[in-house]
Structure 1
């Protein structure tokens, strides 16, 4: 009986000491050591990880509260030298939705987004150090073929954008300037045959647009801007 009582006392003591060693602050009021926080008015854990004098280090886990159960939704792996972390976002079934780097709360570098039904890539994006999209952004079909190819500069579309069929056939080509359609535009049928071509000017159709069928020009439309009212000179 004394032995059983001693074991129970030991377990209770360990539990109390363990609870006392989490969610602690250092002498300067910074979080230090293991931290675990629950959702408000709940026993469901919201996040857990370790701080070193106010800085996150190592692996942090973040949870969703789904039907009063903690479901892992994201992980962040921190280093000891800066605020950059390796991040993964997860679906409720544990499958990785996306992964990349963050500097604090800012997306940086290459980010990968995955197909819902497989581990294939859905989207590839590149962010600068300010969290703005730069360079080429690619979207893929489930079969691995490229669906969209776009170019960004300082977070806005600039340059050529191309859309493809799941067989790799070009379906349309646009040109963007500062996030607006501006320049030549072409549309193709699933066989890759040109069916429409024309120009955009600051987001609107402009000049002569041509329409084709079976490779033959069948129609032209003039979208050149014509002011409704012309001021008369005195």
Structure 2
């Protein structure tokens, strides 16, 4: 290759890199981000990469932890709304996925066990707050807890189950506090105690059971209870 040709090739390469560099991290005439943007940590590791149009994120954005070549968060922005589909990763395995509007979670969010396949929890959000049913699961797929929320607080029924699917707790929340009838069962699903809650505290007389039958004195004998299972002191009516 002649000296002239070498110079031409080098000039083309330099021009290409210059042109490419001009397309990164640019602002439009109104000072808004436009085109491809990439940001880096001080050590040179990539922090995030994505594309803007008229100052708004479009398409796919990837966010990285320092020292990792795998994105920790991937956001895919809608072209017709402010909603973004979001996935959190542990390397190549999905940890969490859902949707966001700005920095607020909306709709259904799903959390996974470490294998990235089995569901650990399902939540519903409205304007960044828990709203609707929240379900948590054992690793065998059975529900461990099912609780309703409204505007970020427990509101409605809340039920807890054993790994075998047996109901052991059935209570009601109003504005984040226990209110109404509460029932507790043993590991076989047999009733142990029930009574009324008011503003988060037990109210009035509670019934206690032995083998599903009401205790003669209204509560189990102390000798039949473990220390951590003894009923709390009841409030006077």
Class of the TM-score when normalised by the shorter of the 2 chains: 0.7 to 0.9
Tell me the equivalent position of 1:82: 81
Q: How many residue pairs are counted as aligned between the two chains?
A: 221
Gap runs ≥5 in structure 2: 220-232
Tell me the equivalent position of 1:19: 21
Tell me the equivalent position of 1:64: 65
Determine if contact 1:164/1:170 at 8 Å carries over to the other structure.
yes
1 CA distance for matches of 2:164 and 2:149? 25
Determine if contact 1:65/1:71 at 8 Å carries over to the other structure.
no
Tell me the equivalent position of 2:56: 55
The structure-2 alpha-carbon separation of the partners of 1:117 and 1:220, relative to structure 1 and needing over 3 Å to count, comes to farther
2 CA distance for matches of 1:121 and 1:155? 22
Determine if contact 1:77/1:87 at 8 Å carries over to the other structure.
yes
2 CA distance for matches of 1:79 and 1:187? 46
Gap runs ≥5 in structure 1: 227-234
Q: Secondary structure at the match of 1:220?
A: coil
Tell me the equivalent position of 1:154: 151
Tell me the equivalent position of 2:226: none
Q: Secondary structure at the match of 2:36?
A: strand
1 CA distance for matches of 2:236 and 2:20? 75
Q: Secondary structure at the match of 1:29?
A: coil
2 CA distance for matches of 1:27 and 1:54? 11
Q: Secondary structure at the match of 2:66?
A: strand
Determine if contact 1:23/1:34 at 8 Å carries over to the other structure.
yes
Determine if contact 1:126/1:134 at 8 Å carries over to the other structure.
yes
Instruction: Give TM-score, length-normalised by structure 1.
Output: 0.87
Instruction: Give TM-score, length-normalised by structure 2.
Output: 0.86
2:133 maps to which of 133, 136, 149:
136
Tell me the equivalent position of 2:225: none
Residues 182-201 of structure 1 aligned to structure 2 (within 5 Å): 182-201=179-198
CA RMSD of aligned residues (A): 1.9
